[in-house]
Structure 1
């Protein structure tokens, strides 16, 4: 299970720079996390000013 970016995302791009494996990309003015690349390190969660990255079910 990998992190997903929820509707709280404001497309600031901070998470992209923080992801050590390059799992986050822009898609239609939002960002998505590739579940095959995500290692669940939490870097995106720590960096995000709106708390948009979450584990499914959070």
Structure 2
């Protein structure tokens, strides 16, 4: 805190300026959607790694 009541330009009024403190309000639905999307990307990445070679 720089002056009385001034937490600096990036704190947005939060005592704790960390990412976790700013986004601790994530809902179960948001978390589930994120996990689903990340899992899909992971599966696609794995599939791309294990593409069978074409038979000659």
TM-score range, shorter chain: under 0.3
Q: Which has the larger radius of gyration?
A: 2
Q: Which has the higher contact order (CA 8 A, sep 6+)?
A: 1
